[in-house]
Chain A
Amino acid sequence: MKIWAIALNTFREAVRDKILYTLLFFALLMIGASVLVAELAVGEYDKILRDLGLSAINLFGMLIAVFVGIGLVYKEIERKTIYTIASKPIPRWQFVSGKYIGLAGTLALEVLIMAIGFALMLAFTGASGAMESMPAIWLTWIELLVVIAVAIVFSCFSTPALSALFTLGFILIGRLTAPLKEFADAGNSEVLKDFAAVVYKILPDLQTFNLRAEAAYGRAYDWEYVGYATGYGLLWAGVLLALAAVIFQFRDFK
C-alpha cells in the first residue's frame, strides 16, 4: 500500500528528528515538576497533580503537533523532495493522507509516552486517578488530530512561519468559540449573538475535547460523551484533510 509507505516514512522521519526528543524531554520534566508545585500548594494535592500533568501533556502535544505538523508538507515542497514522489504513480491525495497518518501515529506514540510518565508520576506520589484521567488524554490526542489537519491545510499553501501563526490562531479561536458563544448569548447584542453563532458553526469547538477539569476532580466519566467527542474530532479532521488534498491536487510544485 502506497499510503502506508508514505505514513511509515513520515513516522520514521519524525522519530529520527531530534526536536521531538527535546520536546518530549521537557514534557516529561514538566509532568515531573507538577509534584513540586503540588507540594507547595495547600490542599487538593491529587487534583493539582492531575490538573498540571494533563495540562502539560496537552501543551506539549500541541507544540509537537504545530512544530512537526507545519513543516510536514511545506518542507517537501521547499526541499523539492516532492519532485521524485509526485512524479511516481501515487495519487496526490494518498500522499497527503499518508503524511497525515504518519504524523497521527507519531503523536499517538508521543501522547502514550507522556501518559505513561503521567501515570508513573501519580503512582510514585501515591496520588489516585490515573485511570480516570485516560479519557482526557485520549481526547487530547483527538484534539491533536484536528490541529495537525489544520496545520496540513495551511502548510499546503503558505510558508511555515505563516502556517504556524495561522494554526496557533486556529487553536486559540477554537478554544474560545464556546466561551464566546456563552458570553454573546448572555448579552443582549443581536449582532454579537449572530456572529458567535456563525463562528461556532463553521469552526470546530476545541473545548469539546477538554475533559481535563473533570479528570482533575476525579469525576466519573461518561463514555457516551467520549464517543461523541471522538466522532466530532474525526469528522473535523476528515473534512480538513479532504480540503488539504484538494488544495494539493491543483498546485504547481515550483
Chain B
Amino acid sequence: MSDIAIKAVGLRKVYVTGFLRKKFVGLSKLDVEVKRGETFGYIGPNGSGKTTTIKLLMGLNFPTAGHAEIFGHPIGSMAARAKVGYLPERPYFYDYLTALEFLHFYGQLLGMDKAARVKRIDELLPMVHMERARDIQLRKFSKGMLQRVGLAQALMGEPELVVLDEPSSGLDPMGRRLIRDVILELKRKGTTIMLSSHILADVEEVCDRVAIIAKGEIQQITKTSELVGHGLHGVEAAFENLSSELALGLGFGEPTAHAHGRVTFLVENHERVNALVRAALEAGGALIRVTPQRQSLESLFVDEMTAVDRKDREKPT
C-alpha cells in the first residue's frame, strides 16, 4: 500500500489546438508529492494550470511528457481511477436524471451493488442537505444545488483521494460553509484531499500544505501551520478620541492611518501593543480594536505573484 497519494514527475501538458496546430502550454513541468491523509491546497491565478493538472491526474487528458501516479498506480489506469472521487470545475451532469437516479448511476459506474448504493445515498444526501431534492430532475436545480449533488457524486465510492476543482465557485455563504465542513469531515476520517480554489481563506483553513502555481509551474509549497505560527508582522491597534497631537505625543511614532476620528498604529509585537494601549487610554483615547497582522495565505499569494511578474519583466524577450 503506497503512502504517497499523488506523485507527479516532470508532468507536462501542451495543448495543440485548431487547424494551425497552435500550441499552448497548459502545464510546463510539475513535480509534486502529496502524502496519504494530507489536505493539499492548489492555488494560482486564472489560467495557471490548476485544472490542467487535475485533468491529467484524472486520466481525462494525456500528458505530453512526464508521468504521475495515484497511490502507486499510473494515472488513467483502472486502479488509479477506482481510488479517486472527482468534482470538476463548473460541472455538468445529465440533467434529465433525478438526484437519486444520478447518484445510483455513478454508483453503478463504480461497480457498487444496489444495497451498497442505497446505503451510501442515504448517507450522502443529508450530508449535502439535498434530501428534499432526491426525486427532482437536475435540470430544475440551481447552480449551488448542482454543486452539492456533484460533491455527493464525488464521494459516492468512499474514495481514498478526493479531488475538488473550485468546489465553492458560485455558492452562497451557506454552501461554502457546507463544502468546508464536508472537507474537514473527510480530513478527520483520513481521506486525502486535493483542493483547488480561489477562496484563499478556506484553503488556509482546511489545508495542511498549499502549492502556489503560476505560469504552469509550482512557485512555492508552504505548510499552512507555518503561515500562522511564524508570519506575525506586527499588531495593529485603533483608537478614538485621540487628536493628532495627542497621538504623536504617545511616543509610538506616526499613526499608520488617521481617518473618521480614528487613529491606527502598527507596532512590532504584543509587548509593545500593551504599552501603546496603556499610554493611549491614559491620554483619554478609547480602544476600538487590536488586530494581529499575520502573513496570511493571501498576502503570501500576492507577494508570490509580484515576484513572478518581476521575474517575467527581467527576462530578456
Q: Which residues of A contact B (CB under 8 A)?
A: 2, 5-6, 9, 12-13, 16-17, 79-91, 250, 252-254
- Residues of A contacting B15 with CB < 8 Å? 254
A190 to B153, CA, bound (A): 62
Contact B110 A88 (CB under 8 A): yes
- Residues of A contacting B66 with CB < 8 Å? none
Contact A81 B82 (CB under 8 A): no
C-beta contact mask, B24-55 vs A, less than 8 Å → 1, else 0?
00000000000000000000000000000001
What 7 A-B pairs have minimum CB-CB distances, sorted nearest first?
A5-B108, A89-B82, A87-B58, A88-B109, A83-B88, A16-B96, A89-B81
Considering the complex, which residues of chain B in the window 122-171 have a beta carbon less than 8 Å from any beta carbon of chain A? 150, 153-154
B160 to chain A, nearest CB (A): 13
- Nearest B residue to A252 via CB reads B61
- Residues of A contacting B111 with CB < 8 Å? 2, 89
- Residues of A contacting B106 with CB < 8 Å? 84, 88
- Nearest A residue to B78 via CB reads A89
B120 to chain A, nearest CB (A): 14
- Residues of A contacting B96 with CB < 8 Å? 12-13, 16-17
A58 to B60, CA, bound (A): 38
- Residues of A contacting B81 with CB < 8 Å? 87-89
Most central of B58, B88, B94 by chain A CB within 10 Å? B94
Which one, A5, A16, A17, A250, contacts B109 given CB within 8 A?
Answer: A5
- Residues of A contacting B101 with CB < 8 Å? 12
Q: Tally B residues with Cβ within 8 Å of A.
A: 32
- Residues of A contacting B55 with CB < 8 Å? 83, 253
Contact A5 B105 (CB under 8 A): yes
- Residues of B contacting A89 with CB < 8 Å? 78-79, 81-82, 109-111
Contact A9 B60 (CB under 8 A): no
Which one, A2, A12, A80, contacts B88 given CB within 8 A?
Answer: A80
Most central of A5, A83, A91 by chain B CB within 10 Å? A83
The 23 sampled A-B contact pairs (Cβ below 8 Å) are A5-B105, A9-B97, A9-B105, A12-B101, A17-B96, A79-B92, A80-B90, A80-B91, A83-B91, A84-B87, A84-B153, A86-B59, A86-B60, A87-B58, A87-B59, A87-B60, A87-B86, A88-B109, A89-B78, A89-B82, A89-B111, A252-B62, A253-B60
- Residues of A contacting B87 with CB < 8 Å? 84
B84 sits at the interface (CB 8 A): yes
A40 to B59, CA, bound (A): 62
Contact B86 A83 (CB under 8 A): yes
Considering the complex, which residues of chain B in the window 91-115 have a beta carbon less than 8 Å from any beta carbon of chain A? 91-94, 96-97, 101, 105-106, 108-111
A3 to chain B, nearest CB (A): 10
Contact A90 B92 (CB under 8 A): no
- Nearest B residue to A15 via CB reads B96
A141 to B88, CA, bound (A): 38
B257 to chain A, nearest CB (A): 47
- Residues of A contacting B58 with CB < 8 Å? 83, 86-87
- Residues of B contacting A90 with CB < 8 Å? 109
- Residues of B contacting A88 with CB < 8 Å? 81, 106, 109-110
A170 to chain B, nearest CB (A): 23
A90 to B84, CA, bound (A): 13
A82 to B61, CA, bound (A): 12
- Residues of A contacting B92 with CB < 8 Å? 79-81, 83
- Residues of A contacting B60 with CB < 8 Å? 82-83, 86-87, 252-253
C-beta contact mask, B63-91 vs A, less than 8 Å → 1, else 0?
00000000000000011011010111011
- Given A12-B96, A90-B109: 14 more A-B contacts, CB < 8 Å: A13-B94, A13-B96, A80-B91, A83-B92, A84-B153, A86-B58, A86-B59, A86-B60, A87-B81, A88-B106, A88-B110, A89-B81, A89-B110, A252-B62
- Residues of B contacting A253 with CB < 8 Å? 55, 60-61
- Nearest B residue to A86 via CB reads B60
- Residues of A contacting B82 with CB < 8 Å? 89
- Nearest B residue to A81 via CB reads B92
